[in-house]
């Protein structure tokens, strides 16, 4: 396929072998007449990345681009130089190799709103079949709900085999607060539950493992690792015809006969509309009983052997996240089933490993560590990480220079909208209520009453204190989205149309979470997989290959929407 090593002629070129790229390569090579070249800047995933409990330890290493935000005073004040880490996967499988493996689709209303604003084909009823297409759900009590779940897909979804007493307390405490124990990927989202994750036999099921490994021997698939893309090549007729890339110190060109699929830099509003889910890690609760996931408890020979031989034990916990909850603050309309806060319940805090790695991954400064977390190092603790589901604050990504190797300038703009602050304050207050339920009190749980550094001017349990916590320990949940916004041609902020085609450029699509007009109310890995599944069908219809595609809204797929020329 690479011919002389300088020019290749595949039909389709996905730039990036991340979550979306893996799905697209798998689905598009189902047509034996199409050649697909995947260009991935990183290498292959490692055996260590398969171990669920050490998910966060994959950050700041060779598998991570290691981006950082620019210093801003509104948030991340507890981090070194006020800069938040921005992890992104530099590996085949992308961020699905670094993430916490949580399988959350988001809320029905998210997608209905996308469609309501002119994105035809993206209502919940229209995207649900694409969620189900990938899914191989191994939990019988979940999989039996055929309306919302399926089995037999490439992506293994299941609950972790390990469950600590703290996880049980979370769900029981939620019920005490009046919430239901729900399947948040089914009829209703509001409620408490044990997490569903992309796990297979107790190990991580990344997008590469799920979608690429089963088809790796297809002769029409070529994956080029450690390949850094410089630019998309566009001719005078505004048609994307190739990709310029670098491998082994040599600059080469790959030519596409059909399409290039990429997150691009284009003369549109690329980089605007940046959205993220942020969680607040400063609300810490200590526990008297030995029930947490502190490092000495799972870093030992018996635990490692149990994992290696049987795929069980605490090493199967997904980065220590043992529960999820979707709750309504006083600002949400509870009758809509559209909660505004998600709890990422962790059976520990930054103190779990005694300062070895978590403090570095979160970017905590020395004062925060020594004054707040070091006194409880290796003690049993937990945190609920209240997470803002639909932030109104919008960030921005810009090029740092003309040098393709320079990292971009990332302005998160966290907590610049007052409503975001108000909802997170309520989420923090409700986590205190959760800690006072009988389920947690039985474990000797109590609020850690150490004043958070930088908040000395406030008083415990006041709105001012909780706002201070939010502005200091502002932790990304790694859901960076929206910078190549999907929208109808009349939307001046749209970068791609509802078929993910870049406005003004032929044969170029964007397929990843950057196309989300508004971030879904949940974790983003499952929505990205859905988006790629849907995009694969769009591309198949565009080029006349309709075998095995989902028979849904084809009257809109491929119709003439101006293809951006009205904007050009």
Residues 6 or more apart whose Cβ sits within 8 Å of residue 167: 194, 322, 323, 345, 347
- Going by their DSSP bridges, the two strands 386-388 and 396-398 should be labelled as unpaired
Residue 479 near residue 276, CB atoms below 8 Å: yes
DSSP assigned state of 210: I
Smallest CA-to-CA distance from 43 within 64, 59, 57, 25 is with 64
Instruction: Extract the tokens encoding 208.
Output: 């590469």
Residue 553 near residue 310, CB atoms below 8 Å: no
Annotated ligand binding at 229? The verdict is yes
Q: How far apart are CA 568 and CA 562, in angstroms?
A: 10
End-to-end CA distance of the chain: 34
Smallest CA-to-CA distance from 183 within 534, 434, 522, 478 is with 522
Place of tokens 């399926």: 150
DSSP assigned state of 186: S
Listing DSSP states for 173-199 in one string gives: HHHHTT--B--TTSS---EEEPPPB-E
- Give the catalytic positions in this structure: 479
Listing DSSP states for 460-513 in one string gives: TTSHHHHHHHHHHSEEE-S--B-TT-B--TT-TT-SB-TT-BBTT-BTEE--SG
Q: How far apart are CA 263 and CA 346, in angstroms?
A: 33
Numbered residues of the known binding site for FAD: 91, 229
Numbered residues of the known binding site: 91, 229
């Amino acid at each position: 396929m690479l011919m002389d090593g300088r020019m290749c002629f595949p039909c389709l070129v996905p730039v990036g072998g991340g979550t979306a790229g893996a799905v697209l390569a798998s689905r598009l090579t189902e047509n034996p007449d199409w050649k697909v070249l995947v260009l991935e800047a990183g290498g292959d995933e490692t055996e260590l990345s398969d171990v669920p409990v050490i998910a966060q330890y994959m950050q700041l290493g060779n598998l991570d681009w290691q981006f950082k935000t620019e210093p801003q005073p509104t948030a991340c004040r507890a981090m070194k130089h006020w800069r938040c880490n921005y992890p992104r996967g530099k590996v085949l499988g992308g961020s699905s190799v670094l993430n916490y493996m949580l399988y959350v689709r988001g809320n029905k209303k998210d997608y209905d709103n996308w469609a309501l604003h002119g994105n035809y084909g993206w209502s919940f009823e229209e995207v649900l079949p694409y969620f189900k297409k990938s899914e191989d759900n191994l939990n019988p009590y979940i999989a039996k709900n055929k309306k919302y779940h399926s089995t037999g897909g490439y992506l293994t979804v299941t609950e972790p085999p390990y469950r600590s007493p703290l996880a049980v307390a979370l769900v029981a405490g939620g019920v005490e607060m009046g919430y239901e124990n729900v399947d948040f990927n089914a009829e209703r989202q509001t409620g408490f539950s044990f997490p569903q994750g992309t796990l297979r036999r107790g190990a991580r099921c990344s997008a590469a493992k799920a979608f690429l490994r089963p088809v790796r021997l297809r002769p029409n698939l070529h994956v080029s690792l450690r390949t850094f893309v410089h630019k998309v090549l566009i001719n005078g007729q505004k048609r994307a015809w190739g990709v310029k890339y670098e491998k082994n110190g040599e600059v080469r060109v790959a030519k596409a006969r059909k399409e290039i699929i990429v997150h691009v830099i284009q003369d549109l509003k690329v980089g605007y509309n940046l959205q993220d889910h942020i969680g607040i890690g400063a609300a810490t609760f200590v526990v008297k009983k030995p029930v947490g996931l502190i490092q000495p408890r799972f870093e030992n020979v018996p635990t490692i052997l149990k994992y290696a031989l049987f795929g069980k034990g605490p090493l199967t916990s997904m980065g220590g996240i043992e529960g999820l909850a979707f709750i309504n603050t006083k600002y949400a309309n509870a009758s809509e089933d559209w909660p505004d806060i998600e709890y990422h319940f962790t059976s520990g805090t930054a103190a779990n490993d005694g300062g070895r790695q978590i403090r570095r991954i979160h970017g905590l400064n020395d004062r925060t560590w020594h004054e707040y977390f070091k006194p409880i190092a290796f003690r049993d603790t937990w945190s609920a990480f209240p997470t803002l589901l639909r932030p109104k604050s919008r960030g921005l990504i810009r090029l740092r220079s003309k040098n393709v190797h320079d990292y971009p300038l990332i302005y998160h703009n966290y907590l610049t909208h007052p409503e975001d602050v108000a909802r997170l304050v309520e989420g923090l207050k409700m986590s205190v209520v959760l800690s006072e339920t009988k389920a947690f009190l039985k474990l000797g749980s109590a609020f850690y009453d150490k004043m958070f550094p930088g908040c000395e001017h406030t008083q415990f349990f006041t709105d001012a204190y909780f706002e201070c916590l939010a502005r200091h320990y502002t932790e990304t949940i790694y859901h960076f989205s929206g910078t190549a916004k999907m929208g109808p041609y009349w939307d001046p902020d749209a970068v791609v149309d509802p078929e993910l085609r870049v406005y003004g450029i032929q044969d170029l699509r964007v397929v990843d979470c950057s196309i989300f007009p508004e971030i879904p109310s949940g974790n983003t890995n499952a929505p990205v997989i859905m988006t790629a599944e849907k995009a694969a069908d769009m591309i198949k219809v565009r080029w006349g290959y309709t075998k095995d595609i989902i028979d849904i809204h084809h009257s809109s797929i491929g119709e003439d929407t101006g293809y951006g020329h009205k904007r050009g």
